[in-house]
A and B are shown apart, each in its own frame.
Chain A
Amino acid sequence: MLTAAIIAIDPELCTGCKRCVETCPARAIEGDQGKPQQLDEKKCVACGRCVQICSAYDSIFDQYTTPREARLAERRLSPSLKEPLFAAYDRNQVDEVKAALAEPGRLAIAYCQAPVCTALAEDFDLPTGGFSPGQVVAALRKLGFSRIYGTSLASALAVVEHAHELVQRLEGGIILPVINSSCPAAVKLIEQSYPELIHYLASCKSPQQIAGALFKSCAAQAAGIRSEDAFNVSIVPCTSRKLEADRPEMAASGNPAIRDVDAVLTTRELAYLIKENEIDVSKLAEEEFDDDLPEVAGAENAYSTTGEVTQAVLRAAAELLSLRTPATSSADVKVTEAQEEGAHIACMQINGYDLKAVAVSGLQNAIPYLDDIKAGKRDLAFLEVMSCPMGCVSGGGQPKVLLPEEKAAVYSKRLDIVRRNAAPRSTVTEHPSVKAIYRDLLLTPCGDKSNRILHTQYFEREMRSGPTQD
């Protein structure tokens, strides 16, 4: 488990340009212009926007009190690392993963999200998508992971559980919108700045935590070991997933010492690990994910960019509603272009319900929506908030694009490739793998057992001052 803050600012490298302050949605960074900035751990939602924007690096023409070796050690980076270091950085967990991989009797399980596979090659001076997902699987196996899974099953379960929550709330006349709980940065922002909206959040966990809970029990069982001997490594494009994995309640077995997720590696950290082990990923033959847990074709895409979850949840809700009244089978989900900055708006008419859903990119763009919901001014059924500018493909843990003018094009390319690699979308509620896992393990969606494994709680967090607009 992490003991220190997820994000830190190195006072020796920070020039006080304050671009991170402008981009921070939680207003967690403060300081005078031209002086090193301070990050307030309590307010930080670990989205990593500051890490992505920071351009204050360790110049060889400047003299620092801390030598580079010490700076690398402080950041727990390999002494052999050659790349420039920046003032804003995220603490890495590569050492913990290396220790687990070396430990005899440990079953190291890796699961990797689609945007990671797509962007990884960028940190090896290769074009976006330069490694195929199959080559990334091969690299993970070479690193010593015993089981390697995708996240499509967990994503599909998150969509099914979200859709059930939505339908339950619709039919029960319970408060709407359902606020999507997949982005841990958005969840923490709501907990600390909009505590009155906590009960709008879907209680369903994010795919990372669902995968963690499932793999720990199922994969360990399949391998014939105790679940405490399994070590789950979630590989994600995101820094705030570290914060999420650290939440004390994320231990589905009931034993707080058995974490659902033992370590979170960002795309950048996976690149460090591969470089340290001198693996040439581009030369590896493609390998398959382990197949002792089913995949749900097409579902791996649901969390790559903003709007995908909304569409998937609305479709699944439509499937559920039309199952109840078979006459309405022509449920239509229309997605219109952004009408407000950073927001997609989707509408669905079914069984007399007229549902409006909004998907917002960028936490700062979500604030007006959250304010409106708080004031009772928004008639929404579903709100999806992704803290990064294009959703998870542009996550805080992705390779850091150096030039600001290149960022948008790189993010778009990642998205194109993620979409190209994905299998065509299929039904999730009626998917045989999803049905099988409910039949054999989880029983009913939003039922007792699925609640215990797939759902979580949120807590009001005390803040000295809120990050909302003045």
Chain B
Amino acid sequence: MKTERLNSFILADTEKCVGCRTCEIACAIVHAAKKPMTAGAADGPFFPRLFVMVTAEITAPVQCRHCEDAPCANVCQMHAISRVGDKVLVDTDRCIGCKLCLMACAFGAIELVPRPPGSQPIYANPLKKIKDRHGEQSFRANKCDLCTGRTEGPACVTSCPQKALELVNAVAETRKRKFEAALDLQETMQDFGA
């Protein structure tokens, strides 16, 4: 049944998050072609896939929730966004940077970022290669991929100095809560001498 394989996602504990942006830096580094160890070794801006929001009351990073009926995937004309395993991923080789996914996402979790230098431009129709856009800066959609293939798990979770981030498996989470609720119920009954 479908609910057995709900997508995973990352959730921040707003009580613990202090808004230091270490998660953003870890995310940017893990996804960069060249991985700078020091600030001086970074030769351009960071392109994180989660975004720390600082409000008057709380700070917390916002990122892709890997929606089950993902509006970004539904709206993509190029079929560049799809569900793979327990995540929603962007196929950057198909993305033409049309920005519909940005508009469709309820969380603002998708940003357009420059393609790495030297990468091939994408054509909506391969037969219509009208002019050579070589050398022009082109952009693609960029969003959380839950650090696919990283054995330690998502970099934002492992690097957070406050341990404020968690990779949530919704099915396991709700099952755990049901157990806890049942145990609470048992204790309540005992308190009443039942």
Contact = CB atoms under 8 A, between A and B. Distances in A.
A60 B29 CA distance: 15
Nearest to B52: A15
A416 to B, nearest CB: 16
B27 to A, nearest CB: 11
A19 B160 CA distance: 12
A55 B38 contact: no
B42 A34 contact: no
Interface string A26-69: 00000001100000000000000000000111111100000000
Given A83-B43, A123-B38, A125-B36, A404 B159 contact: yes
B43 A405 contact: no
B19 A15 contact: yes
Contacts of A404: 22, 159, 161
A15 B37 contact: no
B41 A399 contact: yes
Interface in A244-288: 268, 271-272
A85 to B, nearest CB: 9
A58 B52 CA distance: 12
Contacts of B25: 55, 57, 402-403
B152 to A, nearest CB: 10
Contact of B56 (A34, A55, A56, A59): A34
B37 A405 contact: no
Interface size range on A against B: 20 to 34
Contact of A84 (B26, B45, B52, B56): B45
Interface in A83-126: 83-84, 86, 122-125
Interface string A1-22: 0000000000000011111000
A402 B48 CA distance: 14
A401 interface: yes
B180 to A, nearest CB: 30
Contacts of B111: 61
Contact of A125 (B18, B41, B58): B41
A86 B29 CA distance: 16
Interface string B4-48: 000000000000001111101110010000101111111111111
A405 B152 CA distance: 13
Nearest to B47: A60
Contact of A405 (B39, B46, B58, B159): B159
Chain B interface main SS type: loop
A17 B36 contact: no
Contacts of A17: 18-21, 59
Nearest to A269: B40
Interface in B43-65: 43-48, 51-52, 54-59
Given A16-B54, A34-B54, A402-B25, A84 B42 contact: yes
A410 interface: yes
Nearest to A68: B45
Q: Which of B21, B34, B59 has the most chain A CB atoms inside 10 A of its CB? A: B21
A83 B59 contact: no
Contacts of A400: 38-40
A82 interface: yes
A55 B22 contact: yes
A406 interface: yes
Given A83-B40, A84-B39, A399-B39, A60 B45 contact: yes
Contacts of B19: 15-17, 34, 56
A399 B40 contact: yes
Given A83-B43, A403-B159, A18 B38 contact: no
A86 B39 contact: yes
Nearest to B34: A125
A55 B40 contact: no
A402 B37 contact: yes
Contact of A402 (B20, B38, B43): B38
Q: Which of A19, A55, A271, A410 has the most chain B CB atoms inside 10 A of its CB? A: A55
Nearest to B158: A405
A403 B18 contact: no
A399 B39 CA distance: 7
A57 B26 CA distance: 12
Contacts of B59: 15, 17, 34
A168 to B, nearest CB: 44
A59 B53 CA distance: 12
Nearest to A52: B39
B111 to A, nearest CB: 6
> What 3 A-B pairs are tightest by C-beta distance, nearest first?
A123-B40, A17-B20, A399-B38
19 contacts: A16-B54, A17-B19, A17-B21, A17-B59, A34-B54, A34-B59, A55-B20, A60-B45, A83-B39, A83-B43, A83-B44, A84-B39, A84-B46, A122-B37, A125-B34, A125-B41, A400-B40, A402-B42, A403-B29
